[in-house]
Structure 1
């Protein structure tokens, strides 16, 4: 699919990886619907993408809320007249060990920590994909859905909730690719490793050094490299039902 003038929704598009993807796709001529919960960040991202010459609109939406997702997708389709793509990027972290024992006292990963991550990182992907795919079929728009998974889908200590959600996203990607191909809809995913974001920038230098030492390329990935990969998945018409790993050679 050529990106010029294609309408693409990016969840979590106001910051971090989402904003990097937005700016990259905007520079390639895509028309963008940026979805986030932070209006200030959305406004900044919209301004940056418009500077690249793209048509961009902002939408406040909690992807874990069904009614909000249904309304957002309907508004995007009405505002732009079509939907050709979706990047399921919105996600949160609520890390913690399943159990922690200190001085004989046992603390547990809370149900709230578990459920909040599942709600956004897995249920949100389901809701957005379902509604966008339905709108594509309704309007007879062929398109592409890109899901952001993670190498943590293989299991990462302290991330029971996040690993489970990202594994679910990877599995669903294969299922949806097979189910939606008949409608001209491809579904693929990207599994980033450790990427230079605001979250990693706040880590202690010694922790960053230890993390980077385990990566064969000896550096973290850059947001622009993830954005480049997402553009590739949109443009390669034979890529579907697979997860593109982008981790510098790291396996967890």
Structure 2
């Protein structure tokens, strides 16, 4: 796909990985629709991109709510035109053990709220945004691209029943959509990041972060730009579809 002058929507685009993706795709001429819940951070992100002469507009939406997703994609089409690309990047964590016990007594469990919040954003949000983007591409006759952000945790990770299940679901959606949408000229791929230098990892205790870093064969955390480059590759490689591209420094969970 030729990125120049195409409209590409990025969820969770106000900071971290999403902002890095917006910068890399914007530098190649894409017109960026940044979608996020935080209006203030969105405006800051648009200003940061403008400093690099990147066209971007802010769109406030909750990807976990159907009406909000429908409204925001309608707004994007009205202001920028139909999307030709989507990066499903928005995600949250609500970590916890399924059951935590001490001396044979259950101390705590993962709550239904913890489970549902992550599933709603990380899986249902991907479904809703993917559906609306694909619908616009088909109606516009656009040979578009959808990139879903999964995780190496999709293989299972202790303390992340909700997150792992959602990211495994994202990987399965990627393969399913690639098969369903190919007839319309729409490719679908995914990126599974490992541990990346973001706001989330920066908030970890130093000893935990050191332990994680030592476990990565390359001996360091990835950069947001590494994931952005993986996303760019999927957009530009016209024979990539239905696969998950792992970018984790050699780490396997």
Tell me the distance in 1 between the aligned counterparts of 2:153 and 2:230. 18
- Following TM superposition, where does structure 1 have runs of at least 4 consecutive aligned residues deviating by more than 6 angstroms? none
Tell me the distance in 1 between the aligned counterparts of 2:198 and 2:25. 19
SS at match of 1:146: strand
Match of 2:168 in 1: 167
Tell me the TM-score normalised to structure 2 length: 0.98
1:14-55 superposed Cα distances (whole Å, 9 cap, x missing partner): 011111111111111110000001111101111111222222
| Equivalent residues of 1:29, 1:53 under 8 A apart | no
Cα displacement (A) at 1:248: 0.3
Q: Are residue 18 (structure 1) and residue 2 (structure 2) matched?
A: no
Cα displacement (A) at 1:141: 1.4
Tell me the distance in 2 between the aligned counterparts of 1:205 and 1:146. 32
| Equivalent residues of 2:99, 2:106 under 8 A apart | no
Match of 2:228 in 1: 227
SS at match of 1:129: helix
Unaligned runs of at least 5 residues, structure 1: none
SS at match of 2:126: helix
Match of 2:130 in 1: 129
Tell me the distance in 1 between the aligned counterparts of 2:102 and 2:36. 38
1:36-86 superposed Cα distances (whole Å, 9 cap, x missing partner): 011111011111112222221101000000001001111111111221100
Tell me the distance in 1 between the aligned counterparts of 2:162 and 2:194. 17
SS at match of 1:241: coil
1:167-217 superposed Cα distances (whole Å, 9 cap, x missing partner): 000011000000000001000000000000011111111111110111100
Tell me the distance in 2 between the aligned counterparts of 1:242 and 1:15. 26
Cα displacement (A) at 1:129: 0.3
* 1:35-74 equivalent positions in 2, closer than 5 A: 35-74=35-74
Unaligned runs of at least 5 residues, structure 2: none
| Equivalent residues of 1:27, 1:49 under 8 A apart | no
Cα displacement (A) at 1:114: 0.2
Tell me the TM-score normalised to structure 1 length: 0.98
Match of 2:4 in 1: 4
Q: How many residues align?
A: 252
- Alpha carbon RMSD of aligned pairs, Å? 0.9
Match of 1:245 in 2: 246
User: 164-173 vs 130-139, which deviates more?
Assistant: 130-139
Match of 1:113 in 2: 114
Match of 2:85 in 1: 85
Cα displacement (A) at 1:160: 0.0
Tell me the distance in 1 between the aligned counterparts of 2:63 and 2:160. 21
